[in-house]
Structure 1
């Protein structure tokens, strides 16, 4: 089988494609023939050793995938060869066959597109956990999404609408804002041209927003926090801007608000059953057509480097998906 490998830490250009022996599952494991793997921004960090998880070299990037069960290890129940499944191993999915613990797999229902299912778990799983479990978002509340055209941001716009919120999407260019409108955003803000705090206040009639979803950090964090309503919830998703903000805690006191950490990887590890239930809920929505994972580009395995470089340049709107079929079309 072919696999994209990180053999030396560094930028995407250091990745290589190797032919490896077909893996066999051990006890409690399942071998899955990957149909599609999805990339996330943190893949650009993990291959440089800059992420909180540091896999042993060599490893494949790609935290999530969808594929068909090829072989079952000893003791595995609930799956059969040929089943369509999705999984979140954390890394290792950019290869033609992946072996993962059965506990990290979920069945993909009929009617769900495999490429969209591949891109669902991390960004939409993070977002459903953030909005439903951590923020307890209620119908009618106002949700402000920073970095709204990226993978998790786009998921927040979609899921926010599904949960009944009024969604304000903030992004950095007119084409990204158009993308957010197409996802269902009620209002948009270009925070490179508009004052984020003032616009959020204006769009809420001075009341402020109930929930801020922030995967960006950097200079936008404090203005967003200053725009919050009484007893609002500020969700810390990540720091795509590269800078971890230092928040004046007096703002938290004055607004009676909460700053809530969202660490999806840890949640999936320590609350595995709750995570599987969330993933099943998301896949159900996908199969029913209630959400649609926005795929920016489909790349063959050999062009994983191109996909990661586009992610690093912040060019991806939605998801970059690695398609394993031999006749995979060029990125579009």
Structure 2
């Protein structure tokens, strides 16, 4: 078996604790183990200013339910950039080490941890941050085994983007096989994840929206049926032409502003629009009559909030993704990697919308020796 940790085990452990994942995750300063050396980390000392690579002191002993991970890679998410600017929903006061999404190998486990062992290849979510560092501690409830057919650098770009897309499409939009799906920012990490899931798990007809000819060509190579170029095409008019005026069943938008409004206008009868983010920096006013006339719905998708409000749905989205990866049905795409020393350049690269797929900070090679 490529993936051997059954979903019900992780569901039970999440529910039995009575706590959310974000409540149990530790801040980067608490990364701990006996006789572990100090480690390098990217530190935000002032919001909006370049991060500094600093050597952190040796961590403290682990608590019973914690896992210490030697970080191989850490995915960059738009939330990391917002947090660096001080604009994220959950604000941290400097100094702190940012980063929510990591992959690596287990160095040590707490006394009560039974689901992971030293040497395991894992991916983890650290709601308190700390991913952009050579090692980090995470609650065992937020640590998942990496399928054998997924490299650690790819794993670091999988959980957040694919988890968001999976939750939005299956839990919120109730996507059905063969429906028409519109995805904006489709060449980005979450957009490409939505394309992959809709196309390869649900056999949907997918319309991908992006901002350049090169990205349109990239999407075509990844199975998108139709592409719309922001810079040359009118979104709503293009959708009407592609669908013969019927509109789409589901729209996934991360841009906001007028783009979200055009997505809503492009829905067909009983269509469902998902608002996932506002990369444009603009939150539009959506006329309610647009929803009424088509018996349509507009649903917000804040994936991280499910860790507190609906842990089964949160963990379920991750397990569905990892299972689909293990079965070879979906394939995460890492477009570019940067070393830890170039984290500021990596953040700028993503901010400038140059990224295709996921951008990842790589700290170690796949087969680096395990050790402190």
Relative to the length of structure 2, the TM-score reads: 0.84
Q: 2:355 aligns with which of 298, 316, 319?
A: 316
Instruction: Tell me the residue number matched to 1:159.
Output: 197
Once the two structures are TM-superposed, the CA of residue 248 in structure 1 deviates from its matched residue by: 0.9
Determine if contact 1:60/1:95 at 8 Å carries over to the other structure: yes
Q: 1:18 aligns with which of 54, 66, 69?
A: 54
Distance across 2 between alignment mates of 1:59 and 1:327: 27
Determine if contact 1:117/1:283 at 8 Å carries over to the other structure: no
Residue 87, structure 1, aligned to residue 160, structure 2: no
Determine if contact 2:74/2:131 at 8 Å carries over to the other structure: yes
Distance across 2 between alignment mates of 1:74 and 1:58: 30
Instruction: Tell me the residue number matched to 2:101.
Output: 64
Distance across 1 between alignment mates of 2:307 and 2:183: 23
* SS of structure 2 residue aligned to 1:3: strand
Once the two structures are TM-superposed, the CA of residue 230 in structure 1 deviates from its matched residue by: 0.7
Distance across 1 between alignment mates of 2:349 and 2:326: 29
Q: Aligned Cα RMSD in Å?
A: 1.6
Unaligned 5+ segments in structure 1 are none
* SS of structure 2 residue aligned to 1:47: helix
Q: Deviations over 1:99-142 (max 9, x none)?
A: 11111111112222111111101100000000011101101110
Residue 174, structure 1, aligned to residue 210, structure 2: no
Instruction: Tell me the residue number matched to 1:274.
Output: 313
Farther-moved stretch of structure 1 (113-122 vs 317-326): 317-326
Q: Which runs of 4+ in 1 moved over 3 A?
A: none
Distance across 2 between alignment mates of 1:319 and 1:146: 16
Distance across 1 between alignment mates of 2:97 and 2:355: 20
Farther-moved stretch of structure 1 (124-133 vs 26-35): 26-35
Distance across 1 between alignment mates of 2:351 and 2:152: 25
Farther-moved stretch of structure 1 (125-134 vs 269-278): 269-278
Once the two structures are TM-superposed, the CA of residue 326 in structure 1 deviates from its matched residue by: 7.6
Relative to the length of structure 1, the TM-score reads: 0.94
Residue 265, structure 1, aligned to residue 304, structure 2: yes
Residue 291, structure 1, aligned to residue 330, structure 2: yes
Farther-moved stretch of structure 1 (68-77 vs 1-10): 68-77
Q: Deviations over 1:190-226 (max 9, x none)?
A: 1221111111111111110000000110121112111
Instruction: Tell me the residue number matched to 1:54.
Output: 91
> Where do 1:93-242 residues align within 5 Å?
93-161=131-199, 162-242=201-281
Farther-moved stretch of structure 1 (2-11 vs 231-240): 2-11
Residue 2, structure 1, aligned to residue 54, structure 2: no
Determine if contact 2:64/2:112 at 8 Å carries over to the other structure: yes
Distance across 2 between alignment mates of 1:149 and 1:109: 24
Once the two structures are TM-superposed, the CA of residue 83 in structure 1 deviates from its matched residue by: 1.1
Determine if contact 2:260/2:275 at 8 Å carries over to the other structure: no
Distance across 2 between alignment mates of 1:164 and 1:57: 46
Residue 36, structure 1, aligned to residue 77, structure 2: no
Q: Deviations over 1:79-101 (max 9, x none)?
A: 11111111111321000000111
Determine if contact 2:72/2:366 at 8 Å carries over to the other structure: no
